[in-house]
């Protein structure tokens, strides 16, 4: 099967960094591990773009410190405060509590899923 040359079909070069990163100094990348957030379309091995300058809001997917490391969860606002939830998973929600070492570290602004790995 012949392969098409993308340059023959694109009007300009595609720069993912320019497209996905709004504030380079506040942005980092990390890989998701596990499928606990599959309900939010984040899968094992996805590359996440995380911006620390974005204000977290209800429903945002965030990177947070918890259990001595980092977790990726959905931020939910309740009458009692903020929770880190894992929809579609048996993992319990955890209250955001800086004194207990649970705090939001950045907002996931994009995810990239690889569909073929060798």
Query: Number of folded domains in the chain?
Result: 1
Position 38 scores a pLDDT of 87
Ranges assigned E (strand) in the chain:
27-31, 47-51, 61-66, 69-78, 81-85, 94-95, 103-112
Residue 102 φ then ψ, to 5°:
-110, 105
Contact by Cβ (8 Å): 20, 110: yes
Residue 5 domain-assigned? no
Position 55 scores a pLDDT of 95
Nearest to 65 by CA among 30, 111, 89: 30
Residue 20 domain-assigned? no
Position 1 scores a pLDDT of 63
Q: What is the dihedral of CA 12, 16, 20, 24, to 10 degrees?
A: -110
User: Could you tell me which residues come within 8 angstroms of residue 91 by beta carbon, excluding any fewer than 6 positions away?
Assistant: 36
**Tens digit of each residue's pLDDT (9 = 90 or more) over 64-82:** 998 788 999 999 999 889 9
Range of the domain at 105: 29-112
Positions in the chain short of pLDDT 50: none
For residue 78, CA distances in Å to 6, 18, 42, 102 come to 48, 35, 23, 16
Residue 103 domain-assigned? yes
Position 66 scores a pLDDT of 86
Note the pTM of the prediction, 2 decimals: 0.82
Residue 22 domain-assigned? no
């Amino acid at each position: 099967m012949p392969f098409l040359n993308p340059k023959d079909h694109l009007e300009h070069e595609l720069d993912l960094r320019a497209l996905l990163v709004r504030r380079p100094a506040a942005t980092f990348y990390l890989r998701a591990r596990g499928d606990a957030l599959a309900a939010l379309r984040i899968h094992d091995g996805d590359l996440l773009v995380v911006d620390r300058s974005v204000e977290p809001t209800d429903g945002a997917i965030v990177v947070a410190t918890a259990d001595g490391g980092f977790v990726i969860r959905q931020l939910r606002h309740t009458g009692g405060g903020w929770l880190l939830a894992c929809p579609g998973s048996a993992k319990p929600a955890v209250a955001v509590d800086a004194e207990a070492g649970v705090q939001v570290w950045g907002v996931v602004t994009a995810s990239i899923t690889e569909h073929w790995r060798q």
